[in-house]
Structure 1
């Protein structure tokens, strides 16, 4: 709400060179509660105006030295908010017009005046002046408020822009942190999967090879990125349920196991799933681990699932796992070559293995575009900026660096020194488009 209009008595300045007129006007106006000031000429009127708050001026037209027209013009210049009235006779029409034009008077009053009429004119003039004053006050208030609003809006825009920049920066940091967590998570999984292969009699690199081929096979079969990731994790961890097996049980193929050992061996998929279930990110991969020994014909374990009831990720891991086991001697009496292993598996197509998955695997091993995108280099050929296409393992199968790691000068020197110190022929797979 606006401020109330001031209620202090209005001040009237009466200017005339005739004392009788001043006395008459003073007696006429005083009963109305107005404060009355008088001057006998324009010069004195301007002096009073300079030091007193005046709301309304009544000036006679005919005065010596400074007539009413000139006086009111000066009042308009110095105090434009003061209401100006002119007393004039009928013979002064031309002067009155000049006063109206130059002094912008509110009203002229003809002599002799009517007491009631002149009082009413003054009252209306003061009311008009009050409204004008209030209008100016409100206009100024609105101007200030608009200016404050503009400043506030500008401040808000700056704050919003600043907050948006802060949020973008924070989001960038979170994304970097999230990517780092993902990388660390994958490295931890790969190192965890290496534990079983460090046991006596285990074949180094088995889980790594299964995981890599299983992911590529999942991509060939059209699985989305998340499903490919779950297949990769399942490949890395599919044997984690064997972590508690004695060395003798780990070192021989299932066909050589005793009935008691066979019974324990058949429990490892469930044990593997149980070990992984506490981590929400591994729930789907754990389901694949549980079912990777199921058969297409329903004669597998641990649940005897058949056909499409077996999760696709588990069917993928099953084919790749069997192919690697045949080559390492863990699924046959002797080690087979890759083509021999495929021929041995062909007889079980449609019984042990999903036909579609098996056929896609054969096509994959026949040579795919993905394999062609990798370059195999020796340690001495590495350069900073290269990106690993596959995990780097030491001669014993220990994970040294995870896939997708960007090599810098320090790492290149460390890998070369390691190869020289260990006398190892390290072969590294790097992205073909990142080898220069």
Structure 2
């Protein structure tokens, strides 16, 4: 028996030669061999001569035999191959046939993003490779077990030696399973690192949010499996921002144009879709989708409100806002909590205030006990101003025009005036005011 792993083959099927050539060029340096066919019939003939076919990627609309029909027939010739449908047509019934009848695991769109497609191909080939290696090892163990049955009882030393070898193979298999778990966690960490590589503003953000969110979930009394889902979602919650221009991400939502806000509001859904092909990550994907839902129903993408928002997503939103308050304003822990609590019952679940007040002092910063009747001086954005706040510094426009003197108590008229001037003649800094702790 040859113990060397086979070099996998990826078969592309498309009736357009330029598509096949583009796929060949894209994959020429990959660690797998590429075969092509320009029709379903040609591909079936080729499959009769090929071994170690790891992945079949087929177009849907082809003359004669369509992609779903071809994938269905290909199961007889390459039962272990992973199957995918690659097409530029939005045909739900065709996708359903390819999945239900043809055994397709994914439905991919043309035109593709080269790096996204390569990652998908690599992941599929690696899945096939692990499965093949597992079968290979199982075959070795089975062969050795059969050999053991034929051995003479008098060959005790030989039996002991072979038993030791078999035990080692079993240990290797167990080690492989452990390694798969490590790899799974490594993939999550790698995805999280990709998000944090977008810029200085994101450094450590995902890990800080994960620490805060898991501590809050534990304090809230959630089960261990729920806490693990929240931890995973926290590490990946901004993965949908990959590909959004920095000029959009560097703005707060209040200052985005309508087009920028529409683009930005897609990232929770994009984040969910990015990990949806990994079944174990789908529960985390639900939390990622809803971490920008506001408690009062004004968030996105689905405008859920109150308890309609999953508790994991509410915890994730609170942790996300708290870490951003610290990172963006250079606030102390006390100031950050007070700033975030301006959004209670609007953006955030007020029922989580006690939890985050308690866990914040044990998380990535320390904080003293706070007097609930005390006030904190904060630098606020115009949209964070509330009636009754006391200005602690003069408010000047960008060109130096005096808007309000320090010591003034804000009301609705004054707040509206500040917000208007900050749009017409924006200064470099925010508005300093006293904010009551809740």
TM over 0.5: no
Q: Which has the larger radius of gyration?
A: 1
TM-score normalized by the length of structure 1: 0.44
